[in-house]
């Protein structure tokens, strides 16, 4: 029969404690990385409790997420307390007249800066304009975290919390070649950032992607502040083949990417691993997408790409290269596998469009009887517009154009084709059409819109 072993720790009887910085410098972790933070579990022994956090360390974590976990333990209580060593009873120096004169005093109450003059025995409160000199490094507030628990056997435990020190993001290289379907490549990378002041040795890591809402600690520390730079070529401290990132596994609507082996990330360092290399389809075209205007208008279409991947892609920055030349950058949202996503990289000034809008008819309804009261009479108007669309391609190659005219207040608009061979189709509140223009070709197309209003 097993006998329970009870470990009881109380803050009121603490003699020594373990600094959190000491734990982070000596132990390895289990890390679950998100875009704005990470849930990190630090390996800890029972004798290392309680744990003391400095102000800086405390500002980078969410205290309400601190947990102590183990296979055989049962937590009975958790205590979080702010402690500060008092200066009461210690000698300090008071600077006066720009520190040309000092007075040696004894601190009586450091909460209100009440001191005793050691020369004449009088008491006074240190003024706001007076500086204090210390004989030793002055104490700072610490946050103490402790647990009481019971366990059936000795084991290493894990102190876990959401921490701002570690986070990750994805970014992509989309590599395209002219007239080479096999030259189309998408490479995704997992960029893990350690913005803290100590190396993190990771035994086990998972990267989470998808629509996840996790509040980060309120204080964000930039790891590259004060002129520091990140080492994007950082490698683990030990000589070993780099780890790899597994294919994403679906977990209740989000995706988990597991890293294959232990690794380390030094302070103020980005550690980057190849992540995904999916099979993709990419379609290039230019797009004219605009709202209907009752006046003439002209412009240039957007350079568009339509992407389809056979794997889920977490959101991240994408760098697009054509023939090994960078042609644009965009921020991708999370992308579902086998779904299409269209994005623009800017205007194409070798292609132009112009719309000539002509009012063909402007009709107003009349009351059927003179006996109808003016207040009861609803006047309606009907305006018919002819839209003449001219497209010009100044390139030395064929292009495809997708055209979308958005109609505001779509219930009041009626689309009319000019001829039976028209490319234009009304889909909901949009008028859509697709065109193919050869090198140096121009085309003209027409359709009508009837706009009805009722007053």
Q: Is 322 contained in some domain?
A: no
Say if residue 204 is in the same domain as residue 265. Answer: yes
Q: Is 294 contained in some domain?
A: no
- Domain end (from 276, 294, 320): 276
Q: Is 176 contained in some domain?
A: yes
Separation of alpha carbons 319 and 331, rounded Å: 9
Contacts of 102 (CB under 8 A, 6+ apart): 93, 94, 95, 96, 133
* Run of H or E including 151: strand 142-151
Bridge-based pairing of strands 166-176 and 316-322 is parallel
* Run of H or E including 58: helix 55-59
Q: Residue-wise pLDDT tens for the chain (455 aa)?
A: 333 333 433 333 334 678 888 888 888 899 999 988 999 999 998 888 999 998 888 988 899 999 999 988 899 999 999 887 778 888 888 887 677 778 888 888 888 888 888 888 888 888 877 788 888 877 778 899 999 998 888 888 999 999 988 999 999 999 998 866 567 999 999 999 999 888 899 999 999 998 888 887 764 444 333 333 334 344 444 456 777 777 777 677 888 999 989 999 999 999 999 999 999 999 999 999 999 989 999 999 999 999 999 999 999 999 999 999 999 999 999 999 999 999 999 999 999 999 999 999 988 866 555 555 555 556 778 889 999 999 999 999 999 999 999 987 655 788 888 877 778 998 988 999 999 999 999 999 999 999 887 76
Say if residue 157 is in the same domain as residue 220. Answer: no
Q: Is 346 contained in some domain?
A: no
Separation of alpha carbons 446 and 57, rounded Å: 67
pLDDT at 17: 74
Find how far residue 258's CA is from the centre of its chain: 20
Total domains in the chain come to 4
Q: Is 337 contained in some domain?
A: no
Q: Is 252 contained in some domain?
A: yes
Say if residue 362 is in the same domain as residue 248. Answer: no
Say if residue 251 is in the same domain as residue 383. Answer: no
42 close to 158: Cβ distance less than 8 angstroms: yes
Contacts of 181 (CB under 8 A, 6+ apart): none
Say if residue 356 is in the same domain as residue 236. Answer: no
Q: Is 312 contained in some domain?
A: no
Query: Percentages helix, strand, coil for the chain, rounded to the nearest 5?
Result: 5, 55, 40
Say if residue 158 is in the same domain as residue 171. Answer: no
Say if residue 233 is in the same domain as residue 369. Answer: no
Phi-psi category of residue 335: left, alpha or beta, with phi > 0 → left and psi -120 to 50 → alpha? beta
pTM above 0.85, yes or no: no
Say if residue 122 is in the same domain as residue 175. Answer: no
Say if residue 118 is in the same domain as residue 179. Answer: no
Say if residue 129 is in the same domain as residue 31. Answer: no
pLDDT at 355: 96
Residue 448's domain comprises 351-454
Helix, strand, or coil here: 352?
strand
Say if residue 186 is in the same domain as residue 154. Answer: no
Say if residue 10 is in the same domain as residue 158. Answer: yes
pLDDT at 9: 38
């Amino acid at each position: 029969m097993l006998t329970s072993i009870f470990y009881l720790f109380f803050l009121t009887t603490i003699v020594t404690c373990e600094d959190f910085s000491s734990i982070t410098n000596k132990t390895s972790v289990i890390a679950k990385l998100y875009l704005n933070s990470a849930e990190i579990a630090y390996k800890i022994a029972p004798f290392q409790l309680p744990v003391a956090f400095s102000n800086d360390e405390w500002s980078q974590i969410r205290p309400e997420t601190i947990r102590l976990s183990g296979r055989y333990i049962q937590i009975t209580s958790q205590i979080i307390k702010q402690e500060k060593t008092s200066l009461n009873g210690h000698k300090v120096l008071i600077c006066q007249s720009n520190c040309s004169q000092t007075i040696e005093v004894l601190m009586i109450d450091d909460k209100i800066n009440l001191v005793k003059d050691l020369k004449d025995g009088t008491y006074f409160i240190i003024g706001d304009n007076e500086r204090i000199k210390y004989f030793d490094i002055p104490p700072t507030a610490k946050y103490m975290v402790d647990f009481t628990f019971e366990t059936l056997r000795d084991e290493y435990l894990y102190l876990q919390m959401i921490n701002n020190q570690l986070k990750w993001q994805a970014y992509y290289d989309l590599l395209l070649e002219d007239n080479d379907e096999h030259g189309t490549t998408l490479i995704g990378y997992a960029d893990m950032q350690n913005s803290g002041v100590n190396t993190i040795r990771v035994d086990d890591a998972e990267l989470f992607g998808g629509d996840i809402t996790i509040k980060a600690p309120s204080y964000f520390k930039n790891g590259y502040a004060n002129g520091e730079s990140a080492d994007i070529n950082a490698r683990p401290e030990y000589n070993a083949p780099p780890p790899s990132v597994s294919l994403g596994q679906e977990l209740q609507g989000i995706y988990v990417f597991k890293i294959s082996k232990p690794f380390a990330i030094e302070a103020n360092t980005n550690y980057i691993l190849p992540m995904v290399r999916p099979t993709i389809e990419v379609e290039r075209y230019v797009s004219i997408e605009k709202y209907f205007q009752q006046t003439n208008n002209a412009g240039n279409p957007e350079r568009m790409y339509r992407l389809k991947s056979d794997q889920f892609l977490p959101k991240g920055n994408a760098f697009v290269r054509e023939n090994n030349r960078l042609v644009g950058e965009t921020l991708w949202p999370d992308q579902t596998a086998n779904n299409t996503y269209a994005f623009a990289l800017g205007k194409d000034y070798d292609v132009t469009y112009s719309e000539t809008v002509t009012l063909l008819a402007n009709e107003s309804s009349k009351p059927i009887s003179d006996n109808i009261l003016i207040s009861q009479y609803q006047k309606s108007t009907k305006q018919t517009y002819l839209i003449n669309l001219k497209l010009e391609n100044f390139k030395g190659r064929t292009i495809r154009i997708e055209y979308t005219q958005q109609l505001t207040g779509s219930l009041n608009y009626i689309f009319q084709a000019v001829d039976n061979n028209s490319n234009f189709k009304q889909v909901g509140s949009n008028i859509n059409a697709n065109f193919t223009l050869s090198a140096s070709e121009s085309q003209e197309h027409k359709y009508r819109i009837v706009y009805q209003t009722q007053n």
